[in-house]
């Protein structure tokens, strides 16, 4: 795996070490949880029939890491995310993951005949009063206060995706796994949701592992960007602290374009 230099605002570049991908825990946990591993995947391979989708992939996520997987269609990034979520079983290798993890899909996947509060707490094992309080708190967090009794059909696509985020937050996850969660949204709504996701991550202190095919989104949302090609992680790029439209942002965008060609 290649580790790339980080370019400063003046255009100078310095070599970075390769500590490997990493992760972290939620805000409500005691300080010191920041270094705890919430996801460790070692020597992962996944074979469908005669096709090897992933081969000898390893990554670690700790604390409040924001790790983004990016690659062309068919490179195995969504398969890797589903293995991390334990929605798939690896052909070989091991997955160790914090139990309190949540998954956000590309589409909201709301149940149309359930009200919003029922969708948010679907599968949540808690008392009725605690579910109600968690629902109110989660919907406030995503900017939808007072919408508990609405039907999914009454919400826009962006609002439905906010409910999907609330459904994840209500579980108080230490690890949030996201599979192109904003891919179906228009550009303006997508930008709003990216800002919301970063705000929520700062507030709730969970780690993120997110899949995207969009270079801009990868730089905006990730502190670490991993590129996948032919079933392997080929590059690790540090995007920590990159300001939008800065020289560093432009350098990283060109670097990712080149890497993904």
Write out pLDDT tens, residues 67-116: 999 998 889 999 999 999 999 999 999 999 998 999 999 889 999 999 99
Can you say whether the dihedral through the CA atoms of 26, 61, 229, 244 is positive or negative?
A: positive
Model confidence at 259, pLDDT cuts 50, 70, 90, reads confident
pTM of the model: 0.82
List the Cα angle 20/25/29 in 5-degree steps. 155
The CATH number given to 20-100+172-260 is 3.40.50.300
Answer yes or no: are the C-beta atoms of 98 and 39 closer than 8 Å: yes
Of the spans 10-14, 70-74, 160-164, which averages the highest pLDDT?
160-164
Residue 95 is inside which H or E element, if any? strand 92-97
Distance of alpha carbon 140 from the chain centroid = 21
Answer yes or no: are the C-beta atoms of 249 and 216 closer than 8 Å: no
Lowest mean pLDDT among 111-120, 143-152, 219-228, 244-253: 244-253
Write out pLDDT tens, residues 166-196: 999 988 899 999 999 998 888 899 999 999 9
19: pLDDT strictly greater than 60: no
**Mean pLDDT score, 62-67:** 94
Residue 258 has a CB neighbour count (10 Å cut-off) of 9
- Stretch(es) of the chain classified as CATH 3.40.50.300: 20-100+172-260
């Amino acid at each position: 795996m290649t580790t790339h230099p980080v370019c400063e605002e003046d255009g100078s570049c310095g070599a970075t070490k390769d500590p490997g991908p990493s992760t972290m825990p939620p805000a409500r946990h005691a300080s010191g949880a920041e270094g705890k591993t919430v996801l460790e995947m070692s020597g992962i391979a996944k074979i469908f029939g005669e096709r090897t989708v992933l081969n000898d992939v390893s990554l670690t996520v700790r604390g409040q890491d924001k790790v983004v997987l990016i690659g062309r269609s068919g490179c195995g990034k969504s398969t890797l995310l589903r293995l991390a979520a334990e929605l798939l079983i690896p052909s070989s290798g091991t997955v160790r993951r914090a139990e309190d993890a949540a998954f956000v899909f590309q589409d909201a996947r709301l149940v149309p005949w359930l009200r919003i509060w029922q969708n948010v707490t679907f599968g949540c094992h808690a008392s009725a009063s605690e579910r109600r309080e968690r629902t109110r708190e989660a919907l406030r967090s995503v900017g939808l206060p007072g919408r508990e009794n609405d039907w999914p059909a009454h919400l826009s696509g962006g609002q439905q995706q906010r409910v999907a985020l609330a459904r994840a937050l209500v579980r108080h996850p230490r690890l949030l796994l996201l599979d192109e969660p904003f891919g179906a949204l228009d550009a303006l709504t997508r930008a709003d949701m990216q800002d919301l996701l970063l705000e929520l991550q700062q507030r709730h202190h969970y780690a993120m592992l997110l899949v995207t095919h969009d270079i801009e989104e990868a730089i905006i949302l990730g502190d670490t960007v991993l590129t996948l090609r032919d079933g392997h992680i080929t590059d690790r790029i540090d995007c920590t602290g990159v300001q939008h439209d800065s020289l560093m942002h432009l350098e990283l965008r060109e670097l990712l374009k080149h890497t993904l060609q």
